[in-house]
Structure 1
Amino acid sequence: MATFLYKLGRLAFRRRRIVALVWVALLVAAGTAANTASPPPDDDFALPGTEAQQAFDLLERQFPEANADGATARLVFRAKDGSTVTAQDNRAAVADVLDAVEGKETVSVSDPFAQRSGAVSRDRSTAYAVVSYAVPAMELADATREDLRDAAALGRDDGLVVETGGDALFAEPDMGDGEIIGVVVAALVLMITFGSLVAAGLPLLTALAGVGIGISSIAALGATLGLSATTSTLAMMIGLAVGIDYALFIASRYRAELGEGREREEAAGRAVGTAGSAVVFAGLTVVIALAGLSIVNIPVLTKMGLAAAATVVIAVLVAVTLVPAALGMVGKRIFGRKVRRANPETGAPAPPTADTRPGGGVRWARFVLRRPIGVLVIAVLSLGTLALPVSDMRLGLPDAGNQPTDTTQRKAYDMLSDAFGAGFNGPLLLVVDGRRSDDPQAAAGRAAKTVQGLDGVVAVSPPMFNKDGDTATLSVIPETGPSDPETEHLVREIRDEADGLEQRTGAALLVSGATAVTIDFSQVMNDALVPYLALVVGLAFLLLMLVFRSVAVPLKAALGFLLSVLAALGAVVAVFQWGWLAGLLGVEQTGPIMSMMPIFMIGVIFGLAMDYEVFLVTRMREAYVHGEEPAQAIVSGFQLGARVVTAAAVIMISVFAGFIGAEDSMIKMMGFGLAVAILFDAFVVRMAVVPAVLALLGRRAWWLPRVLDRVLPNVDVEGERLRAYTAKSAAADAADGTATGAAGDGDSGAVPVQREHEDTRV
């Protein structure tokens, strides 16, 4: 592997203009295809195998006249000054509002004052009307949304409190300035790391090129492969993260090789052969983590994972081809002007001497080597303490109750809860399938009576049958809110009663609706968590064992990752569920943790954590294989890798932390969780736990059973075969130079060839 990548790096360096043109052509082609492609489809949020999904599928077949995909708006009216909403003047104001929402896309508008509508509260202070539209929320015309806002304003002018719920006013959540903040911080960190504007811009430009190709390809293939616009969200986040990391790793190694006196092409080849090998295997671990999302069996997650994995593959290819080509183009400007002025001949800094003051990474590594037990105990206890809140974690999906308190959706949600009860915002949809029943109407009536008798049920609507009269729907209002554990208990109780009902009547009873979907989605996530962890960690363990030729190192990497993820999830629970420091972070509403959060964090953080693990420990393995003692190999690994890993981690923390400023609580939660997870993994696990464990294990850290040593292929990620290859090439070049000089042709070209290869250390 190292030898192949070494040759590839040198080839890309020599043919840098051709390589750059090829990537530019790919970017232009992908962009053109994206611009001419058909619009991407909407998200098909399905939960195969769940009862809620079975009910939706049944409704689609048995109630074809119903437009389940159409947007809805719920206009909530409240009278002021102690009057009733049913007063004559208030009724007239409500009628004016409902007339104003009529439009081309409107299907129906309910009358809250119709007999037995149930849309007026008992104290007659509040009423609501439902507006149904012909198209989904994302396809509503801007004029229709504006008519809805104007209608609500009209009601306010007439003296009513009017707020709007439902999905008709849905808008893409404000992501804040996360991307801008991340790019700015990345540029600053790269400037500090490299001390050169050109060197700082190189990882950013190459990463953006790879992400551009990946995102454009997703857009171009969206209509063909059913990839929605949101599929590219994860691909963009991960592609940019690993793209910067991989380019940073290779550029840093290239600078180190130049500092040891290598010629530029040789330095590029060795950088790609060594750091590039680490990039390839780090990329494979990310691909495993992302492709493994398919085990959850949720189509939208599967597509997101596979699209992001493809973007990571592009980032790896960019790193091992476009990055060395770009290094050839920037020339001596890879170092800052101060370094170039001090060394005008080479443009590279002089090699460090024995008097050179060691860097911060070396000093930290030596500190850990002196006190490995203390560092390990403190790190593990700290992360373990932070992980304790995970035991109280509740999962759910966001609803209007999680919106900021100043939004009209949240105000409508609170008004309905106050007037009709907390459960009104989370009704359950029951579907009675009576096709196998002798008397479907009697079966539906019995189902309504059974459910009405359960604890926690406020009201059950009369059954509504389809045209064939064999399938009915019922609406159930629970006492508790959508995210309350008691509501989940009620759903499970109704499903338990369904078995007895089917035995007695022959009719099947299915529970669906938004609240049931949330419960089923959370259950799917819970059920998939352990298999997903086993798959991802297991495959990555085998891959890392292949890379490091060790059992202890990949085991330590996997356990350290689990510790950092649990600590990050614990911090998320403490802030977003318990409310600790909620005001400081701008969290207005605490509640359950988003169901996707654990698996999403595992996939993203596992990939980035293994990046840092592979790059840092590969340098240690390389030094150990080349003859250094285990303790000194740890110091060498930190000398060459700590600064780069620190820079990469700071960039990613800044990118994710930028999303904490978003208004949407779920985006805020994701940004906070990913930021603290990177913080814990990079600076506690990789910088403290890893060297402490390796120091305690000594040579045993690199032990591999003989059976496995014979069976596992040697991928040579530490470059031992590359060392032999370059030594052999140097000897051959030297022999050719001597023969040329003996021929008396007067060519002195042997001298630079000899100088280029005289130091064959990797």
Structure 2
Amino acid sequence: MKNLALWCSRRKRTVLGLWVVAFIGLVCLTVGVGASFNDSSDAPAAESTTAYGILAQAGLYAESSTTTGNIVWQVDGLSIDDPSVQADVAAMASEVAAIPGVQAVASPYDATNPAATTQISAATGTAFATVTVEDGVDIDAISAAAHGLDSSTTQTAVGGEAFYVQPGGSHGPEALGIIAAFAILFLMFRSMWASVLPILTGLAGVGVSMLIVVLASNWMNLSATSLTMGALIGLGVGIDYALFIVNRHRKALMAGKSVPEAIAQALDTSGRAVIFAGLTVIVALLGMFVVGLGVLTGMSRAAALTVLFTVAAAVTLLPALLAMIGPKILSKRQRAELVQLTAGTTPASTAVPSTVAGRAVTPGRSTRWALKVQGAPRRMAAGALLLVLVLAAPVLSLNVGDADASADPAGSPTREYFDLMSTGFGAGYDNAVLLVATTPNDAAGAAFTDLVAQLSSVDNVTTVGAAPYVPGQQVAVASITPGSSPQANETTDLITTLRDDVIPAAETGTDLQVSVTGTAAVSMDLAHALMSKLPLYLALIALLGFLLLAMAFRSILVPLVGAVSNIATILVGMGVTTALFQWGWGTELLRVGGGAPIIYIIPILIVGIMFGLSMDYQVFLVSRMHEEWTHTRDNARAVRVGVAETGRVITTAAMIMFCVFASFALTGERIVAMIGMGLAVAVLVDAFVVRLTLVPALMKLIGDRNWAYPRWADRLTPHLSVEGAPEADDDSDPLDAAAHPVGADAGSTRPTTA
């Protein structure tokens, strides 16, 4: 690492030029080639997907270039079939039909429309027209024409598949996170350059990687959400990784080293930890492949690529920029102290715990906290564990599924459409549960007919529709309209009842085979498939994380404590997400509607991302402890020095990540808000409660056994050096510096770092 650092610092303009050329070249390629994102989920095999396959083979289901949507209106003070209402609707329908790309408008007032009677609810004064459109039609023009019906007595809304719009990118909230990160860095470093460089480095890594992701979308199955996911993770870890290196570089400068020497030491210590931490995040992200869902594997590829480039920027671009800036990375006060130090005079103060004019300097906050934890390890561990349990408790009621329009923000177009349609036609109006039957013989056909006759008596079934069975027919379909929305527990109960009780009874003694599908059934099957693989995924990344930490720190208990505490942080993230978005404690504040089931990919994402981020802090904390243990063989001192010297930078890094993740939660997109807030709170808890309280308290209680490693394991596992080989006099205990007067070490001309 030292050789890389020295090469980058000596050829700083070359390194900067290569990054600039790479960025410009990728921009040109992206403009020329474009993007080709898709939202194919590659859902795992399940009963609901099998049913669609049967329909496709029978020619009853196929991709089409047309889609349908609904225009719904509700009148107040008039009859729904009042002549004036019919006249206004007829005019609106003619205007909509004239829009290019509109193939048909089926009005409830059209005598030739066979479904006209099902499109009117006289009791509630509600009716709707079905619009069939081609791909690429101007839905804004249709919506504008439809809202021409709005008046003091008529309320109108549009919805359905034809009017669905993919969520667009956010416009500004992420910038708030970057601004907040700059403010936190400036408060920590009191230097403009030291505050700007971590952000520039993070943006450089994210920018290059995002361009590559856009290009890769032309050859790989990637969704547009992959860009948001990559940016969210990349910004957080990129700024943090650069922060750790800048912090170590500044300490080396204050210890009297030259700029190139300081860069080399920073990369040989914190740079190694950055690479190791980045690898753990990448491993956790790529572990999502075991889940087998295309949209998740696409996100994991994009996020892993972003982390890779943020690490590359931290260990190449950042050293070049540090070499260009030189001592300006320090604050003015520190530069003045450094000048005094070089001149051989005693500085008025130091940037680190030391002594002044023969008296001890009060230890910093991190040192005082380390002493407090070590002074009462059992009480501190119990308090931290209790807080973790309280925050994680909501996960016990986790309900995984899809949020429907009933959970959309009040006043949004989708919510207005849902309210009008559900008032007139029930909450399950657009939630058909399909029964797809294979009927190889007439006996099976007769059994299917009997099944359809029984369906109306099943709880939560509003209407049943099915064409009469025709002898020789191989596939038959029945459509059930539930009385509840897709996200409701009643809908899930209905599907379960059909699959476990009603259908098996009908199939008994016949060759009839019936599969249940539909929007709610697909969501239910997908959630079950993903959640069933969650334990395997968690076990896999926990094992890999344990092995990596064991190789790095030659210990069994330290990696075990790390793995268990990582799982605790993951449960906090999932618990907070459940409380905020399922219970609805934070949905209105974040402008994402009301409480609803947690989208099925969220638990997988939180597990993968949070495990990697927790490992980051564990690596930075324990690497400093291990460094001190290697020199002194004093566990209490190692734990104390580890917390004292990394506490400030870990808490700063956590605050930066919190701001970045929380800013994404302000985009107004439910899935992004879930990920952002879940990660934001989990990161804070991980840093303050888990890493700087629970872990050191446990390590204090365990004692020297923390660092025990069997000889057979030592022979089998390769050696990894995470902390490099820093000089011994840069690693003194902060308490030693505060306890001895100036002149105790006459041979040392450098202030002690902490």
Asked if TM exceeds 0.5, the reply is: yes
Q: How does 1:13-412 map to 2 (within 5 A)?
A: 13-63=9-59, 66-67=62-63, 70-81=66-77, 83-102=78-97, 103-113=99-109, 114-117=113-116, 118-121=118-121, 123=123, 125-135=125-135, 140-141=136-137, 144-157=138-151, 159-167=153-161, 168-172=163-167, 175=170, 177-344=172-339, 352-354=353-355, 355-412=360-417
Q: How does 1:482-521 map to 2 (within 5 A)?
A: 482-496=486-500, 497-499=502-504, 501=506, 506-521=511-526
Q: Which amino acid aligns with 1:121?
A: S
Give, in angstroms, the shift of residue 508 of structure 1.
3.5
Change in CA separation of 1:625 and 1:610 when aligned onto 2, cut-off 3 Å = same
Q: Which amino acid aligns with 2:144?
A: D
Distance 1:539 1:524 in 2: 23
Give, in angstroms, the shift of residue 230 of structure 1.
2.2
Counterpart secondary structure, 1:244: helix
Distance 2:460 2:394 in 1: 29
Consecutive unaligned residues of structure 1, counting only runs of 5 or more, are 727-754
Change in CA separation of 1:581 and 1:13 when aligned onto 2, cut-off 3 Å = closer
Which residue is equivalent to 1:610? 615
CA deviation map 1:452-492 (0-9, x unaligned): 342221111123999x9643443211122222222112112
Distance 2:468 2:406 in 1: 29
Counterpart secondary structure, 2:339: coil
- Would you say the 8 A contact 1:445–1:463 is kept in 2? no
Distance 1:176 1:562 in 2: 34
- Would you say the 8 A contact 2:432–2:481 is kept in 1? yes
Give, in angstroms, the shift of residue 626 of structure 1.
1.5
Distance 1:441 1:58 in 2: 16
Distance 2:727 2:698 in 1: 29
1:686 to 672, 687, 691: 691
CA deviation map 1:322-379 (0-9, x unaligned): 2111111111111122322343378996775333332211111111111111110111
- Would you say the 8 A contact 1:46–1:53 is kept in 2? no
Change in CA separation of 1:507 and 1:88 when aligned onto 2, cut-off 3 Å = farther
Counterpart secondary structure, 1:461: strand
Q: Which amino acid aligns with 2:156?
A: V
Which residue is equivalent to 2:744? none
- Would you say the 8 A contact 2:232–2:661 is kept in 1? no
Give, in angstroms, the shift of residue 295 of structure 1.
1.4
Give, in angstroms, the shift of residue 612 of structure 1.
1.0
CA RMSD of aligned residues (A): 3.0
Distance 2:647 2:297 in 1: 35
CA deviation map 1:515-564 (0-9, x unaligned): 11221122122212111111111111111111121111111112112222
1:622 to 627, 630, 640: 627
Give, in angstroms, the shift of residue 99 of structure 1.
2.3
Give, in angstroms, the shift of residue 445 of structure 1.
3.5
Give, in angstroms, the shift of residue 628 of structure 1.
5.5
CA deviation map 1:275-303 (0-9, x unaligned): 11111111111111111111111111111
Change in CA separation of 1:228 and 1:526 when aligned onto 2, cut-off 3 Å = closer
| 1:480 and 2:522 aligned | no
Counterpart secondary structure, 1:234: helix
Which residue is equivalent to 1:736? none
Q: Which moved more, 1:476-485 or 1:646-655?
A: 476-485
- Would you say the 8 A contact 1:619–1:637 is kept in 2? yes
Change in CA separation of 1:761 and 1:173 when aligned onto 2, cut-off 3 Å = closer
Counterpart secondary structure, 1:162: strand
Q: Which amino acid aligns with 1:14?
A: R
Distance 2:82 2:176 in 1: 53
Which residue is equivalent to 1:749? none
Change in CA separation of 1:186 and 1:344 when aligned onto 2, cut-off 3 Å = same
Change in CA separation of 1:502 and 1:99 when aligned onto 2, cut-off 3 Å = farther
CA deviation map 1:245-286 (0-9, x unaligned): 111111111111222222222221121111111111111111
Change in CA separation of 1:71 and 1:325 when aligned onto 2, cut-off 3 Å = farther
Q: How does 1:506-585 map to 2 (within 5 A)?
A: 506-580=511-585
Give, in angstroms, the shift of residue 587 of structure 1.
6.4
Q: Which amino acid aligns with 2:308?
A: V
Distance 1:375 1:69 in 2: 63
Consecutive unaligned residues of structure 2, counting only runs of 5 or more, are 731-746
1:640 to 642, 645, 662: 645
Change in CA separation of 1:710 and 1:289 when aligned onto 2, cut-off 3 Å = same
Change in CA separation of 1:346 and 1:12 when aligned onto 2, cut-off 3 Å = farther
TM-score, scaled relative to structure 1: 0.88
Which residue is equivalent to 2:708? 703
Change in CA separation of 1:459 and 1:209 when aligned onto 2, cut-off 3 Å = same
Which residue is equivalent to 1:730? none
Q: Which amino acid aligns with 1:255?
A: R
Which residue is equivalent to 2:680? 675
- Would you say the 8 A contact 1:291–1:306 is kept in 2? yes
Distance 2:299 2:668 in 1: 24
Which residue is equivalent to 1:6? 2
Distance 1:516 1:350 in 2: 62
Distance 1:447 1:240 in 2: 56
Distance 1:27 1:346 in 2: 41
TM-score, scaled relative to structure 2: 0.89
Counterpart secondary structure, 2:429: helix
1:445 to 435, 444, 449: 449
Q: Which amino acid aligns with 1:353?
A: S
- Would you say the 8 A contact 1:177–1:661 is kept in 2? no
- Would you say the 8 A contact 1:438–1:505 is kept in 2? no
Q: Which amino acid aligns with 1:154?
A: G
Q: Which amino acid aligns with 1:126?
A: T
Q: How does 1:646-657 map to 2 (within 5 A)?
A: 646-657=651-662
Change in CA separation of 1:759 and 1:668 when aligned onto 2, cut-off 3 Å = closer
Give, in angstroms, the shift of residue 125 of structure 1.
1.4
Change in CA separation of 1:181 and 1:385 when aligned onto 2, cut-off 3 Å = same
